[in-house]
């Protein structure tokens, strides 16, 4: 069962590994990222933050979707972490199992605007998340589990 998908450019770190995993009662963290899936060094580094008793899995976006669709994830309470909004969009477009996306931290880049603390988005990303919201996926922006849910759409409304 997919508990939540989180966008966090840091992927697995203290807040994700402990606060979010405990909050979601997750027993597996799936890092869905094409680069990390083929980078043994990054996998070793990210493994350092893994909580005891929690399975940590690294897969490409395509392989993550295959695993979800195969049903293999049903025996776990899975917390998915992706590095960017594009990956979140691809994941949510690829399966109906993702019902909740938390946009936690998105790095400041060229042609982005700040919509919340440590969340910078461009027009394409706004369109992608709005499209998912319109399809019934809940998209919230919050850094920590104890923060209040802020709907993505409320932060990007056109004036």
- Residue 158 banded pLDDT, cuts 50, 70, 90: low
Sorted by sequence, the CB contacts under 8 Å of residue 11 that are 6+ apart come out as 31, 33, 36, 46, 81, 83
* 111 C-beta neighbours (distance < 10 Å), count: 9
Mean pLDDT of 97-122: 96
What is the CATH class of 2-155? alpha beta
What strand order describes the sheet that includes 55-59? 55-59, 28-32, 78-82, 2-8, 100-105, 138-141, 150-151
**pLDDT for 159 beyond 80:** no
62 is written with which tokens? 């395509």
| Residue carrying structure tokens 């807040």 | 15
| Collapsed DSSP state (helix, strand, coil) of residue 75 | helix
Mean pLDDT of 27-39: 96
Beta-sheet pairing, 55-59 with 113-116? unpaired
Round the average pLDDT of the chain to a whole number and report it: 94
Contact 140, 152 (CB under 8 A): yes
Cα 89 from chain centroid (whole Å): 10
Q: Can you give the residue ranges of every domain in the chain?
A: 2-155
According to DSSP, the residues that pair with 153 across neighbouring strands are: none
What does the pLDDT read at residue 151? Answer: 96
What does the pLDDT read at residue 138? Answer: 97
- Residue 4 banded pLDDT, cuts 50, 70, 90: very high
Share of the chain above pLDDT 70, in %: 99
Mean pLDDT of 26-49: 95
Instruction: Give the chain's length.
Output: 159
* 124 C-beta neighbours (distance < 10 Å), count: 12
- Residue 71 banded pLDDT, cuts 50, 70, 90: very high
């Amino acid at each position: 069962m997919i508990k939540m998908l989180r966008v966090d450019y840091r992927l697995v770190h203290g807040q994700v590994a402990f606060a979010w995993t405990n909050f979601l009662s997750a027993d597996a963290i799936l890092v869905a990222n094409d680069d990390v899936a083929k980078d043994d060094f990054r996998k070793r580094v990210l493994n350092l933050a893994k909580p005891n008793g929690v399975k940590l899995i690294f897969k490409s976006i395509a392989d993550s979707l295959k695993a979800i669709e195969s049903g293999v994830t049903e025996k776990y309470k899975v917390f998915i972490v992706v590095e960017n909004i594009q990956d979140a969009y691809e994941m949510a477009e690829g399966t109906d199992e993702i019902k909740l996306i938390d946009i936690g931290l998105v790095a400041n880049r060229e042609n982005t605007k700040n919509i919340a603390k440590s969340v910078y988005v461009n027009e394409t990303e706004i369109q992608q998340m709005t499209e998912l919201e319109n399809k019934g996926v809940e998209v919230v922006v919050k850094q920590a589990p104890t923060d209040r849910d802020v709907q993505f759409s409320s932060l990007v409304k056109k004036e």
